[in-house]
């Protein structure tokens, strides 16, 4: 059974979104490793160096203020949590991305459940942080979940049509 034009479009956007999730996972893993390796003192120093000039030009810059405040509150405990969170999140996503790109049927429902749990946590975080980045990531995840669901239905129909 040949794919329809609509199914091919879903497949393209599905693969693109899963690839982007894979890139995100690699960045999370790198970030997790860096969180283990870079001390809070180094983070504070780096933020100070990178924001000093901007702070002189505009002492009331909100973004610089938020960065400096975050660096001041970054601790060993916080860096360990961040490292473990990013590593776990990234490794789970890499595992799922590989399964999806290899068209493993188990990967579709597992990905839907895992991404759903990640989105619940992200919405919880958004509820008190009001981070537009967190909201944007959650909306992107919602689109990815929809594409995974659509691709799963297409693949399941094609697998049953071919007696697999």
CB atoms within 10 A of CB 4: 10
Cα separation, 135 vs 71, whole angstroms: 22
Residue-wise pLDDT for 108-155, tens only, equals 999 999 999 999 998 998 898 888 888 998 999 999 999 999 999 999
The residue ranges of every structural domain in the chain are 5-159
- b vs e for 5-29, b when ≥16 Cβ sit within 10 Å of the residue's Cβ? eebeebbebbeebbeebbebbeebb
Read off the pLDDT of residues 66-107 as tens digits, 9 standing for 90 and up: 888 888 877 777 788 888 989 999 999 999 999 999 999 999
């Amino acid at each position: 059974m040949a794919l329809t034009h609509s199914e091919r479009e879903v497949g393209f956007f599905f693969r693109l979104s899963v690839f982007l999730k894979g890139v995100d996972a690699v960045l999370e893993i790198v970030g997790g490793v860096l969180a283990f390796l870079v001390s809070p003192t180094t983070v504070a120093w780096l933020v100070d160096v990178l924001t000093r000039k901007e702070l002189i030009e505009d002492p009331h810059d909100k973004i610089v203020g938020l960065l400096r405040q975050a660096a001041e509150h970054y601790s060993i405990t916080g860096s360990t949590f961040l490292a473990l969170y990013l590593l776990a999140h990234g490794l789970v996503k890499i595992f799922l991305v590989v399964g999806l790109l290899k068209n493993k049927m188990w990967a579709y429902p597992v990905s839907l459940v895992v991404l759903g749990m990640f989105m619940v946590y992200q919405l919880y975080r958004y509820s008190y942080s009001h981070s537009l980045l967190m909201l944007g990531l959650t909306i992107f995840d919602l689109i990815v979940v929809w594409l995974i669901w659509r691709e799963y239905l297409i693949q399941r129909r094609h697998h049953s049509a071919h007696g697999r």
